[in-house]
């Protein structure tokens, strides 16, 4: 009798351990690569201590990204072998080899969420021309053309933060995606207004947003965190 009780308790313990191991409440055992010029990983400061220990604390978006898994900072896209998921936010211009590597990674089954803002409105502590300043204009035309897209910008649009029609995301001087001929086996659907392009590329997927106002440091309550989380789930979920 006691053996049966002990065996039942052991089985229950094993089941509990198995449930805990696969519980959605745990941080997933995966690596999310982050390639960005925005101050999400580090704060804007003149020295290393200030970059790490800014009094304002960590960027709110980093906590959202970390809920998906281990965040791996990337300074190049040449080797994506350690990355399970990828977020690109207002990147520096890519060298040709990086365009090739990114395209190959997506076609082999990778999922990427990219923010490409043609007119970044986020304020910076660094002056124009300073290499530490976030990329003011996303220069990603080669990879977009490879996927049959073009990023356009309407200079006549009014400035100021507002909510995008349809998507409900905060935008400020946003761009718009347009389909162009020449996409290599890319199947893109562009939302009304052109803010978001959703593309099936080979075995993988790319979700592209033509603005980065969502990622500004000052979040309005939980709204932006929820919006970013929803975008991540849509773009990166398997």
All domains of the chain in start order, with CATH: 28-236 (3.40.50)
pLDDT of residue 45: 53
pLDDT of residue 203: 97
pLDDT of residue 26: 56
pLDDT of residue 221: 63
Angle at 37 between CA 219 and CA 105, to 5 degrees: 105
pLDDT of residue 1: 46
How many whole angstroms separate alpha carbon 158 and alpha carbon 85? Answer: 35
pLDDT of residue 115: 98
Q: What is the pLDDT along the chain (238 residues), one digit of tens a residue?
A: 444 434 343 344 333 334 334 344 456 799 999 999 999 998 665 544 444 454 456 899 999 999 999 999 999 999 999 999 999 999 999 999 999 999 999 999 999 999 999 999 987 777 677 778 988 999 999 999 999 999 999 999 999 999 998 889 999 999 999 999 988 889 999 999 999 999 999 999 999 999 999 999 875 667 999 999 999 999 999 8
pLDDT of residue 220: 63
pLDDT of residue 107: 97
Angle at 85 between CA 51 and CA 231, to 5 degrees: 85
DSSP character string of the chain: -HHHHHHHHHHHHHHHHHHHHH-TTSPPS-EEEEEESSTTSS---SSHHHHH--TT-S-HHHHHHHTTSEEEE-S-SS--TT-SEEEEESPPPPPHHHHHHHHHHHHTT-EEEEE--SS-----SS-TT-TTSPPSS---HHHHHHTTEEEEE-TTSPPS-EEPTTT--EESS-EEEEE-TT-SSEEEEE-TTSSEEEEEETTEEEEEES--GGG-SS--TTHHHHHHHHHHHHHH--
Instruction: Quote the distance between the C-alpha of residue 224 and its chain's center.
Output: 13
pLDDT of residue 182: 83
């Amino acid at each position: 009798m006691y053996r049966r009780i002990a065996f039942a308790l052991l089985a229950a313990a094993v089941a509990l351990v198995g449930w805990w191991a696969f519980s959605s409440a745990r941080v997933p055992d995966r690596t999310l690569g982050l390639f960005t010029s925005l101050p999400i990983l580090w704060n804007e400061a003149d020295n290393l201590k200030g970059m790490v220990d800014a009094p304002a604390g960590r960027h709110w978006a980093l906590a959202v990204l970390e809920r998906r898994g281990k965040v791996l900072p990337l300074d190049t896209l040449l080797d994506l072998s350690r990355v399970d998921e990828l977020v690109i936010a207002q990147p520096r211009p890519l060298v040709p080899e990086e365009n090739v590597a990114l395209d190959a990674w997506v076609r082999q089954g990778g999922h990427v969420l990219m923010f490409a803002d043609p007119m970044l409105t986020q304020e910076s502590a660094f002056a124009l021309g300073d290499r530490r300043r976030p990329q003011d204009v996303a220069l990603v035309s080669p990879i977009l053309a490879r996927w049959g897209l073009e990023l356009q910008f309407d200079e006549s649009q009014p400035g100021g933060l507002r909510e995008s029609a349809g998507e409900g995301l905060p935008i400020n001087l946003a761009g718009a995606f347009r389909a162009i001929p020449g996409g290599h086996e890319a199947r893109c659907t562009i939302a009304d207004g052109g803010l978001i392009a959703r593309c099936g590329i080979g075995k993988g997927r790319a979700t592209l947003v033509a603005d980065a106002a969502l990622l500004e440091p000052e979040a309005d309550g939980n709204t932006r965190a929820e919006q970013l989380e929803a975008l991540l789930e849509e773009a990166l979920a398997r």
